[in-house]
Structure 1
Amino acid sequence: MCVEGLDDAEYELLKRCREVIGPDVLVSASMDLHGNVSRELAHQTDLITCYRTAPHVDVAETKERACRNLLYLINRRKNDEAFRPYKAWVPLPVLLPGEQTSTRDEPAAHIYGEVPAVEAVEGVIDAAIWVGYAWADEPRNRAVVVVTGWDKRAVSDGAEKLARTFWDAHKDFKFVAPTGTFAECLDAALRSDKRPYFISDSGDNPTAGGSGDVTWGLTQLLARPEFKDESGPIVIYASVPGPAAVEKAVEAGVGATITVTAGAEVDDIHAGPLTMTGRVHAIKHGDRHASTEVVLQVGSVYAILTKLRKPYHLERDFTELSLTPRSADIVIVKIGYLEPELYDMAKDWMLGLTPGGVDQDLVRLGHRRILRPMWPFDREFKEPDLTSRIIDMSNESLA
């Protein structure tokens, strides 16, 4: 997370927990690999691990590993054995979005493929690689390797091996799909005979930190002449929050034609609130993310409006709204890389380099506080220091 006034929110949270629970209580943390691990955060934890896949299909496995390793430490303490492991921490001058570091593709596939072998070494408990969070501007934002275990040499060697593998491939990272402007993505989708054709409106991905209420993409879509008539190509757009618009649609009911305004209540930098007239196609109550969802058909576009922002990752997210994404011509989602169900459903897709809080064009965001040099903001590098820093929680100060 990113909190105004704090440069390391997770460390601050754990530090305050430590003030309550004291230094002797064991702490195990599991994280998203897109998070940040400062040296201070690593010092305050006894065990720290993260996902090894992106998209994150190993969430449950990661939680289990964090718990299993914690129980292992607790049992060692019960048996009067040494129970506080070493952590080898290596920062890397690389800061990339998940859309360039998916483990479906190289080079992330082989980088993360090295993790189990390092973890299997005698004296090692866990090995983890974070790619960092690219859309915050803090000194801690960068890639990091942490290897935990009893053998100081083993954890140090393992961390340095993973860091070297990562750095040697830093120039090879690329986007997970063909990219283009929003207009270029729409043009490509219309030319293609592959259906459904997915487009990622990536600049406002709510699961990456976007507000979710940027109206720029839907505004551009509804302005296209190809979609003005109901007989045009069927497009599903997910989504724009608009509590007042949702309330009006609910009052009017399915089948009613209404004019509503939605979006840009949080992020109005790129486009203002969007007013549109359409027919209420569906209404759904009780969604755990959105609370209430409605579908408004405007021409051949089925725009999903929500009371609260919601990511659309599953086929049932659409079918429960009386939408059939498999038979649509184009499906546009505010997301980065496609989540597994969408990826399997898409016959082809493009990553739209659209504006928003999580713009994939990192350089144009204007980072000012990250440590430099940093790839890809800087292209000329001296060899970085990839030696491990040993952090020993049994020591009151940083080792």
Structure 2
Amino acid sequence: MTRPRIAIGGFLHETNTFAPSMAGYDDFVQGGGWPRLAEGDEIFERVRGVNVGASGFIEAAAEKGWTLVPTLWCAASPSAHVRQDAYERIATRIVSAIEAAGPLDGVYLDLHGAMVAEHLDDGEGEILARVRAAVGPGVPVVASLDLHGNVTPGMVAAADALIAYRTYPHIDMAETGRRSAVHLAGLLGTDRRDAKVFRQLPFLIPIAWQGTGMEPSRSIYGRLADMEGGAIRTLSFLPGFPAADFPDCGPSVLVYGTGQAEAEAVADELCALILRSETAFAGRVLSPDEGVREAMRIAQSANRPVVIADTQDNPGAGGDSDTTGMLRALVANGARRAAIGVIVDPAAAAAAHAAGTGGTLTLSLGGKSGTPGDRPFEGTFAVEALSDGRFVAPGPFYGGSRMNLGPSACLRIDDVRIVVGSRKAQMADQAMYRQVGIEPREQAILVNKSSVHFRADFEPIAETVLVCAAPGPMPVDPAALPWTRLRPGMRLSPGGPVFDRPAGQPKS
């Protein structure tokens, strides 16, 4: 029996169209918190043992005895749009490698689902359409997606199945790749294709309250898992990424089944549950001073650190990870045994390395991305530790990724320690503190530039978690963003105002 030949590739980016900086080709080469760009057989080594979809798919394919044809895999930290040159260089190489592979039995793509390029809104829909054109209508194409994907009709039309993560923090990325392989196996060598149902929901969900360990997502995903099986081959709920200004931004439901009527019924039930839960997608948000003072109060009697999410400068949602609002609040309120990270400032990191461990320096730290309401923090700092920024992040989110934050340092002002890096990555692993000599468990207060992913590695050591809204490019309330191109009638937050196209704005 001939072993099935399956092409694999990956191209991941979560786009915040309101963010200050675009993603260029080198951002995908470097990877940020993700593995570096890899082509051909080096993909197998680069993603092995890492919590990404391709890793789980490759493991499952080996168990099934498939012959894999690797093309290109890459990812970059979230930011504003992917530059046209970067998109076309990467997409062309993936599609060209698939075309050059000869006869294929299937294709698997590790995608995000919320990519917007400089020259087109639907990054994933475009690459799926190009792949479909390359392999023809008879070859099954399956993709895994982040649950923050903003799914489009084009994506659904071009793929035989889109299968999303079910955890946030995303500790099941590799497992989703494995589930994608199981689904693809059911399509190989057959003419059968599943019935598809795609529904878009009419309200934006703040990412800070999408976590699957909290309500209402915990109950929604529990019910979703119960629905799968029998006539329902796979289904997904994607809360979406509420910072991409184009008509298909927002939550969605995908159902694939052996019969259209059964799939429609399940989609109806799941959508009804989500709509009933709409107003529950909310939580308590504090100002920087309120959050620091509350953390200091709790810390007086706590044996574990109070963790604060600096959610609006989350580099996992497009922030540049350089705003200083929370640092300013820590210092102004006299916080003790406090640490914050990562503040990305290559010039400050270079100055720290020049000064050396034990040195002092006066500088303007962070605040260089032009975020409204933010500015650099002026101060004199002690250099407590230096690092080349290379380390392994073993926690459940990064899952063993080899990270490179570039030249890094621990700077101290008063009793506040700052992780300063040269490249951005979401503060979602305790190793990101330890690589510059800060033991997170010994701190009274930790301020993480992250919205939810940090919870996977930090909740087990935290006394409690607070959410603060310092100035940043990813508002905790999507209604605060200057939308111009959403679908008319979309609610800008749970139970919130309805989008109305600005006067004079042409239809998309």
Contact kept? 1:293, 1:307, Cα under 8 Å: yes
Hey, what does 1:298 align to over in structure 2?
A: 413
Aligned counterpart, 2:7: none
Unaligned runs of 5+ in 1: 228-232, 383-399
Which of 239, 249, 253 aligns to 1:145? It is 253
Aligned to 1:392: none
Instruction: State the one-letter code of the partner of 1:34.
Output: H
Q: CA deviation at 1:259?
A: 2.2
Post-superposition, which runs of at least 4 consecutive aligned residues in structure 1 deviate over 6 A? none
Identity %: 28
- Verify the 8 A CA contact 1:87 1:155 in the aligned structure 2: yes
Question: Is the contact made by 1:135 and 1:357 (CA closer than 8 Å) also made in structure 2?
Answer: no
- Distance, in Å, in 2 between the alignment partners of 1:329 and 1:91 is 43
Matched, 1:36 2:142: no
Determine if contact 1:238/1:304 at 8 Å carries over to the other structure: yes
Residue range with higher mean Cα deviation, 312-321 or 241-250: 312-321
Q: Give the corresponding residue for 2:228.
A: 119
**Where do 1:155-304 residues align within 5 Å?**
155-175=263-283, 178-192=284-298, 193=300, 194=302, 195-222=304-331, 224=332, 226-227=334-335, 233-285=336-388, 286-287=390-391, 288-304=403-419
Aligned to 1:46: 160
Is the partner of 1:93 in helix, strand or coil? Answer: coil
* More displaced stretch, 329-338 vs 187-196: 187-196
Distance 1:63 1:281 in 2: 41
Post-superposition offset of 1:62: 0.8
Shift of 1:40: 1.5
Structure 2 alignment gaps of length 5 or more: 1-114, 392-402, 499-508
The answer on whether the counterparts of 1:214 and 1:270 sit within 8 Å (CA) in structure 2 is no
Q: Is the 8 A contact 2:292 2:329 kept in 1?
A: no
- Is 1:67 aligned with 2:181? yes
1:209 Cα deviation after fit: 1.9
**Aligned-residue CA RMSD in angstroms?**
2.1
Residue of structure 1 equivalent to 2:3 = none
- Post-superposition CA distance 1:4-49 (Å, at most 9, x none): 3422222122223334333333211111111111111111111111
SS of 1:226's partner is coil
Q: Aligned AA for 2:288?
A: F
SS for the counterpart of 1:304 is strand
Given candidates 311, 314, 327, the residue that maps to 2:429 is: 314
For residues 164-190 of structure 1, the C-alpha deviation after alignment (integer angstroms, 9 at most, x for no partner) is 111121122222xx4211111011112
Deviations 1:305-340, CA, capped at 9 Å, x for gaps: 101112222222222321122221211111113421
Considering Cα pairs closer than 8 Å and 6+ residues apart, tell me whether 1 or 2 has the greater RCO: 1
How far the C-alpha of 1:300 sits from its partner, in A, is: 0.9
Offset, 1:205: 0.4
Conserved? CA contact 2:232–2:256, under 8 Å? yes
Q: 1:225 to 1:117 in 2, by over 3 A?
A: closer
1:361-380 → structure 2 map (5 Å cutoff): 361-377=477-493, 379=495
CA displacement, residues 271-295 of structure 1 (integer Å, 9 cap, x when unaligned):
2333432111111112424122211
Shift of 1:379: 4.1
- C-alpha distance in 1, partners of 2:178/2:339? 37
SS of residue in 2 equivalent to 1:179: coil
